[in-house]
Structure 1
Amino acid sequence: MDDGQRPRARIRPGGPAPLLLQTVHEHRPETGAVSLLRARGTVDASNAGEFSEALAEHITQADRAGEHPVLDMTELYLACAAAVRAVDRATGVLAFSGRALPVVQPRPHVREALRASGLPGVRAHATMTSALTSLRDPVATERRADPRPGGTVR
């Protein structure tokens, strides 16, 4: 019987988790300088613009510093279409130049939303190792990751 209430498993006490962003700069022997943006919390309509601006700034700063930008979405929840559009806006400059932002460990629903939207400036990776490997040889990594026989690299 439906009483109009949301199922208990979907109710989050106190509302969505606040958006927290942290930048970490690392030097990896296999890839060189890496700028990692760790995102945590929820991106929804109320903060999608803020997230898009922060991600775009992260990419710009990494490019200026000669670093590879990487986004860690291990603890991030995209709550609406505006959140996916925020990622698209922020990665547009990369897509325009034929590059893609490695995104590490998006949750299954986030990975599916990114895949379904076909964002050209984003490449999801299950592990940090996979993301860093893609920085060394992005074309070969994308070909290996393409599960379709004879699939084309986008």
Structure 2
Amino acid sequence: MDIGQPSPSRVRPGGPAPLLLQTVHEQRTGLGGISVLKARGTVDATNAPRFAEALAEHVADADRAAEHPLLDLSEVYLACADAVRSLDRATGPLARTGRALPVVQPRPHVREALTAAGLPGIRLHASLTSALDALTGRGPAAQEPARAAAQEPARAEPGGPGR
């Protein structure tokens, strides 16, 4: 017989994974310093403000250290609209200065949500290598599905474009 509070696993079996954040600093030849914020877990309504604050602080710290900030979302689930808004809040200052935060390896559902949201302060990349190539000018500025679709050859329509 159990006495007292049930364990967290019994209260929320299969519930959202806790949000973990870790910053990794590296030096890259030809690029200089990079600062990667690696996020892991679920961003939901309960922790979206903390995520936005940590991300904004990450970008500000990287700017002060003359590093390139990146965000690794390879192990993140966005559980609600608050999660997307938290990214928008944190990257808004970058967008207002014409910059964007490279976001690396978002899971397919996260990529879809971010692409649909059209956040001006982020650029999606399929890998860290493609993000670094974009920063050094060796690759495309962004690997967004929406942009890739826009770059496909235009189909001729009767009456010309827009008619």
Query: TM-score, normalized by length of structure 1?
Result: 0.84
How far 1:137 moved relative to its partner? 2.3
- Can you list the C-alpha shifts for 1:38-73, whole angstroms capped at 9, x where unaligned? 000000000000000000000000000000000000
Q: CA RMSD in A?
A: 2.0
Q: Does 1:149 align with 2:151?
A: yes
Write the distance in 1 (CA, Å) between the matches of 2:17 and 2:137. 36
User: How many angstroms does 1:134 deviate by?
Assistant: 1.3
User: AA paired with 2:140?
Assistant: T
| Identity across matched positions, percent | 65
Flag structure 1 segments of 5+ consecutive residues without an equivalent.
1-11
Largest Rg, 1 or 2: 2
Alpha-carbon offset, residue 95 of structure 1 = 0.3
The C-alpha deviation readout for 1:80-117, integer Å capped at 9, x for no partner, is 00000000000011101101100010000100110000
Structure 2: tracts of 5 or more residues without a match:
1-11, 154-163
Give the TM-score of the pair, scaled to structure 2: 0.80
Question: In the alignment, what sits opposite 1:27?
Answer: 27
Aligned residue type for 2:67: E
SS of aligned partner of 1:74: strand
- Give 1:90-109 correspondences, 5 Å limit: 90-109=90-109
Number of residue-to-residue matches in the alignment = 139
Q: How does 1:1-154 map to 2 (within 5 A)?
A: 13-137=13-137, 141-142=140-141, 146-147=147-148, 148-149=150-151
